[in-house]
Structure 1
């Protein structure tokens, strides 16, 4: 297949320009301004749209096994393809928990059979996600686990975290941690501050994040283990990560697209689809996260895709579950930063493809000869109004319902095969 008349953007090298891409046997065979193919090749005219590596989402909650009514690997794959995500990392918060090699193997086989995108499971860091006893990192890694995390839970026991980092270091395994101290969160349900007070809701202080993050960084310095803070959300956390990187520690971090595109004021009149963990912060913190992304302190952008059904979201704000779906809106929401002139397109794509690939040790995230043909074509200017009823996710709890967005995926290719195509027939 030959893609022509495209705006090629390679976030790995920073190169950008007009040209085409030739795909053969699931790989990028050739690319550039004058690429050609044999007569039998199928030709796709991109019409000047952007052609880039497929997105890699490092934080996706999928209901299967145990909560298939919220999301299945099949529906998550369809949602991912529509949003330009060609690889998703599934969290271990399932029933049963992904703390056994057999369950990891089941998810991988199930994903191969039903999902149209790549699914790489992250295994539990502690048994049962209880934070008390370290999981069998070596065996889980052999079974195919790409990283180790307790998902939406934090490991509060410093000794357990120290052992996990030490053990993971010997396997060169990646520890991904949700940095939020549950004791400091307490009964809090949104960002602590004036707006929470006006709404009469208990707040979550920034220190719930920074105290846990600071502890983890010190344990990384003690052990030398590879560490990734799943999502940071405030200016103080940026300073902590920046200082750790300046000391040469093996530390990376992510940010949720929600904390880049929204702030606490968007909660408005108790909109439960915007009840998230970490919570939406003050506008000053949102701007600090954008600046940190532009400066390279923040490595990756994640969707934090967390499907919730009506029973867990159609409740008073304080009682509703945390989480929002985000696979289909990840790129469109991130393009807001491009259209506002705050972050260039190549850097946005780098944070959603190249850097995740580097951190996870995956071959994707680049436009180069021999690279996997996991590709997306999208129109960064295409305007639309999001209708949650049209989402491919089984759950519809999107914070961007009825939002005006710009940028739509036209085509998604996974391993040389087109899995999503929005072109008119």
Structure 2
């Protein structure tokens, strides 16, 4: 059987021809004289039809041995079929078993989330999980395309750092030979240094938060996209963010229609994600929340219910700008006209998905940055280099961070971020 392998994704190129596919049995049913094999190969799903009086006894017997998740090579003729989900079927003429799987643990019946998470390595094979992973991969591709097409350089910050950019309370501590080190929670400070060398940069890598949080929006290990741009102010930063998010969403709509259908996603909600995005200030957000019966006063940060309330008032992502300096990061630039608020924005996704981007213009005044270090009791030993950025050729600059998994959850319409990453790390889960 020396035929070259084809993929299920490419069968449309071979209508009326015999192809050979390496695949697994996703499901199987039989009606006496016909066996229907639901086959998958990673690129898609197709039904293989084995008709008893059209194949040899050997082929029929081999097909009869197949069980859920058995692996095989199948030969067959590609035929168009409007009723099938893929639009094609395979009239099977040959079956070569690689392995018959025995007692595959995930059956078509309902399983609890814990059971599925314990078998995450197998759960990934299901149509829904596969669709999510395909969309995740497309989002990553779109992120890189957007930055490549807009003059950004990819820069990789370190994962091991001497301390934290936002205090060490939620960091994983480790030993770096005889020094203390931490797993990074953000590459931002290093990206600021890179922006002073390359102009426009972005990082894309894993970040870690040791928060004992169990919400549907939190992971312990997640991926962040962190652009940083020299000579860009707060206003220009917002324009980059909305164009970037719109680009990603429209790109997924073009390339992943089938996967969004598999997930039952209402794509009309995604189609409306076009620039410009609405903007409201923190002051206005507080007013809107109070008018809708939320007990919140100026100076308090927003929780999930507050973000959801604001998001419900818009049909696309909304920027909330000019938060109080009191609870925002030390490096955010105060508004020159009103120093108690900072030139920052959170982008809140629609449909209750919460904050997907946090960004700001950064402080570029060396004296103010020195003052912030003192106020926040940040160790100058670990971050003398960061102060150097303001000392040697400081410029206005801005940046933002996008959480990949929250973005995947929103675009896919998922209840929980645990399905957005192949092997989630949660508060009580380090397996598999």
Structure of larger gyration radius: 2
TM class by smaller structure? under 0.3
Greater RCO (Cα-Cα under 8 Å, separation 6 or more): 1
TM-score (norm 1): 0.27
TM-score (norm 2): 0.27
